[in-house]
Structure 1
Amino acid sequence: MEAAASSADDVWDEDQDDLASERAIAAQSLAKIERTLTNIGYKSGIDASKTEHMQDGFDDGFARAFGHGRSLGSLLGELVAHRAVCHKLGRPPCVPDLDVLIARLRAFGHASAFSMDAMRDPAAQDPTTDEFKALVEEASSAVHALQTQ
């Protein structure tokens, strides 16, 4: 028994009458039930929130990654096809440094499409996304140059 506790909280205090003793036991039981329900509610809320937010995060990340992959794949396919046609015809590609551009597109892996900081905070400035945008712009310009010839 703690020294700071009053004798009214002591369920074994023989000087208390039965009603006071029952109230002390009821108060302790109620406090324990409140703590238990609070803990259960907290854990339940965390679990529900995790499930909801993890699914939203996955859906957002999947959509963004799919869009980036499709853009890169399409551009890479057009540039590789152009290089193959030029090679078959025995003439140089119309786009300068085409092999370098193709190598850079292939090297830009899925893991580098987004930084983890940008995934946690989409509003944050992500230099990796800027690098991706610059690469896509360069590849798009090359594909446009091929289409206009």
Structure 2
Amino acid sequence: MGNNEDVLDDVWGSDSDDEILNNENAGYSRDLQKLREQHNKRGYLDGIVSSKETNLQDGFNAGFPTGASIGFEVGKLIGIL
């Protein structure tokens, strides 16, 4: 039976059980990869937005006193004219 068993072992082709499972799971792998990419992109964009908001507020806080004092002086000059 040893030699005949090898010849008839895979009658329909070369697909083993592992290859069949890999083919069935290939769709899941693609879906997981796409989901991972979406989460990475969303996380990156959330980080950019958060950083912009923080830096914008810091810049406003640093520049506001200067802008307020200049605006006050300009207002006085316009009031005199």
- Identify whether the pair has TM-score above 0.5, normalized to the shorter chain: yes
User: TM-score normalized by structure 2?
Assistant: 0.62
Give distance in 1, aligned partners of 2:80 and 2:15: 96
Moved over 4 A (4+): none
Structure 1 position 46, deviation (Å) = 0.8
Where in structure 1 are there 5+ consecutive unaligned residues?
1-15, 91-149
Q: Please, what TM-score do these two structures have when normalized by structure 1?
A: 0.39
Q: 1:55-87 CA distances to partner (integer Å, 9 max, x unpaired)?
A: 111111111112223433432221011122244
Q: Say if 2:22 is the partner of 1:31.
A: yes
> Percent identity over the alignment?
5
Among residues 51, 65, 68, which one is paired with 1:60 in the alignment? Answer: 51
Matching residue's letter, 2:50: D
Which structure shows the higher helix fraction? Answer: 2
Task: Give the stretch that moved more between structures: 63-72 or 52-61.
Answer: 63-72
In structure 2, the partner of 1:69 is: 60
Q: Tell me which of the two structures has the higher relative contact order, counting C-alpha pairs closer than 8 angstroms and 6 or more residues apart.
A: 1
Tell me the equivalent position of 1:100.
none
CA–CA separation in structure 2 for the residues paired with 1:66 and 1:77:
16
**Aligned residues: CA RMSD:** 2.9
Q: Distance in 2 between matches of 1:87 and 1:66?
A: 30
Partner SS state of residue 21, structure 1: coil
